[in-house]
Structure 1
Amino acid sequence: MSRRTPDRSKSIARGRRKLEEHNTKPTTPLLAVSFFAADVQAGAGPFLGIYLQAHGWSPDMIGTVLTLGAIVGVLVTAPAGALVDAISHRRAVVVAASALTVAAAGVIWMSRGYWPIALSQIATAVAGSVMGTALMGLTLGMTGRRNFDRQYGRNQVANHAGNIVAAALSGAVGWWLGIVWVFALGAAFGVACIVSVLLIPARAVHRHYARGLAHEDDKDRAQVRADSVRALIRCRPLLLLALALAAFSLGNSALLPLYSLAQAAAHHRNASAITAANIIISQLVMLSAALYASRAIRRWGFWWVILATLITLPLRGLTAAWITAEWGIGLPESTARRMARQPLRLPDGLHCAR
Structure 2
Amino acid sequence: MKQSAVHSRALDWLNFFLADVRDGLGPYLAIYLLAVHQWQPASIGLVMTLAGVTALVAQTPAGALIDRTRAKRAVIVIAALLVTGSCLLLPFMASFTLVALTQTVSALAGSVFAPAIAAITLGITGPKAFTRRFGRNETFNHAGNACSALLAGGLAYLFGPVVVFYLMAVMTVMSIIAVARVPADAIDHQQARGLSDAAHGHDQPAGLRVLLHNRTLLLFAVCCALFHLANAAMLPLVSQKLSQIDLRLATPLTSACIVAAQLVMVPMAMLVGNKAEQWGRKPFLVAGFFVLALRGALYVLSDNPFWLVGVQLLDGVGAGIFGALFPIVVKDLTAGTGRFNVSLGALTTAFGLGAALSPGIAGLVVQAAGYDAAFLTLAAIATAAWLLVWLALPETAPQMDRTLEYAES
Provide the TM-score with structure 1 as the length reference: 0.83
Counterpart pick for 1:270 among 249, 260, 282: 249
Partner of 1:236: 215
Q: By how many angstroms is 1:226 displaced?
A: 1.8
Q: By how many angstroms is 1:233 displaced?
A: 0.8
Amino acid in the other structure paired with 2:213: R
8 Å contact 1:37–1:159 — kept in the other structure?
yes
Counterpart pick for 1:112 among 94, 98, 106: 94
Counterpart pick for 2:115 among 103, 108, 133: 133
Quick one: structure 1 residues 329 and 178, their matched pair in 2 at CA, closer, same or farther if it must change by over 3 Å? Answer: farther
Partner of 2:177: 195
Counterpart pick for 1:337 among 306, 315, 318: 315
Matched, 1:51 2:32: yes
- Write the distance in 2 (CA, Å) between the matches of 1:300 and 1:155: 20
Higher mean alpha-carbon deviation, 246-255 vs 40-49, is at 246-255
8 Å contact 1:277–1:329 — kept in the other structure?
no
Partner SS state of residue 27, structure 1: helix
Partner of 2:69: 87
Q: By how many angstroms is 1:300 displaced?
A: 7.3
Partner of 2:359: none
5 Å-filtered alignment, 1:33-44, equals: 33-44=14-25
8 Å contact 2:66–2:116 — kept in the other structure?
yes
Q: By how many angstroms is 1:28 displaced?
A: 2.2
- Write the distance in 2 (CA, Å) between the matches of 1:47 and 1:329: 20
- Write the distance in 2 (CA, Å) between the matches of 1:202 and 1:118: 36
8 Å contact 2:253–2:309 — kept in the other structure?
no
8 Å contact 1:25–1:204 — kept in the other structure?
no
Post-superposition Cα deviations, 1:114-154, rounded to whole Å, max 9, x if no partner, equal 12222232233333331111011111222333433333232
Quick one: structure 1 residues 241 and 123, their matched pair in 2 at CA, closer, same or farther if it must change by over 3 Å? Answer: same
- Write the distance in 1 (CA, Å) between the matches of 2:127 and 2:69: 19
Partner of 2:9: 28
Partner of 2:374: none
Partner of 1:143: 125
Q: Unmatched 5+ residue regions in structure 2?
A: 335-403
Partner of 1:209: 191
Partner of 1:260: 239
8 Å contact 1:282–1:334 — kept in the other structure?
yes
- Write the distance in 1 (CA, Å) between the matches of 2:283 and 2:8: 35
Matched, 1:173 2:152: no
8 Å contact 2:134–2:273 — kept in the other structure?
no
Q: Unmatched 5+ residue regions in structure 1?
A: 1-18
8 Å contact 2:139–2:265 — kept in the other structure?
no
Q: By how many angstroms is 1:297 displaced?
A: 5.9
Partner of 1:62: 44
Partner of 2:332: 349
Post-superposition Cα deviations, 1:142-178, rounded to whole Å, max 9, x if no partner, equal 2333433333232222111110110011111211121
- Write the distance in 2 (CA, Å) between the matches of 1:269 and 1:328: 15
- Write the distance in 2 (CA, Å) between the matches of 1:298 and 1:26: 22
Quick one: structure 1 residues 145 and 294, their matched pair in 2 at CA, closer, same or farther if it must change by over 3 Å? Answer: closer
Quick one: structure 1 residues 307 and 147, their matched pair in 2 at CA, closer, same or farther if it must change by over 3 Å? Answer: closer
Post-superposition Cα deviations, 1:207-231, rounded to whole Å, max 9, x if no partner, equal 2222222258xx9xxx932222211
Identity among equivalent positions (%) equals 34
Partner of 2:261: 282
8 Å contact 1:105–1:184 — kept in the other structure?
no
Partner of 1:224: 203
- Write the distance in 1 (CA, Å) between the matches of 2:89 and 2:7: 36
- Write the distance in 2 (CA, Å) between the matches of 1:339 and 1:308: 8
8 Å contact 1:102–1:191 — kept in the other structure?
no
Quick one: structure 1 residues 58 and 227, their matched pair in 2 at CA, closer, same or farther if it must change by over 3 Å? Answer: same
Amino acid in the other structure paired with 1:349: D
Higher mean alpha-carbon deviation, 129-138 vs 296-305, is at 296-305
Partner of 2:378: none
- Write the distance in 1 (CA, Å) between the matches of 2:105 and 2:229: 17
8 Å contact 1:94–1:131 — kept in the other structure?
yes
Partner of 1:10: none
Q: Report the aligned-residue RMSD.
A: 2.7
Quick one: structure 1 residues 76 and 313, their matched pair in 2 at CA, closer, same or farther if it must change by over 3 Å? Answer: farther
- Write the distance in 2 (CA, Å) between the matches of 1:297 and 1:208: 25
- Write the distance in 2 (CA, Å) between the matches of 1:26 and 1:240: 35
Amino acid in the other structure paired with 1:166: S
8 Å contact 2:131–2:276 — kept in the other structure?
no
Post-superposition Cα deviations, 1:250-308, rounded to whole Å, max 9, x if no partner, equal 33112202211212212445122111100001111212434566798678754454344
Quick one: structure 1 residues 256 and 87, their matched pair in 2 at CA, closer, same or farther if it must change by over 3 Å? Answer: same
Quick one: structure 1 residues 122 and 307, their matched pair in 2 at CA, closer, same or farther if it must change by over 3 Å? Answer: farther
Provide the TM-score with structure 2 as the length reference: 0.73
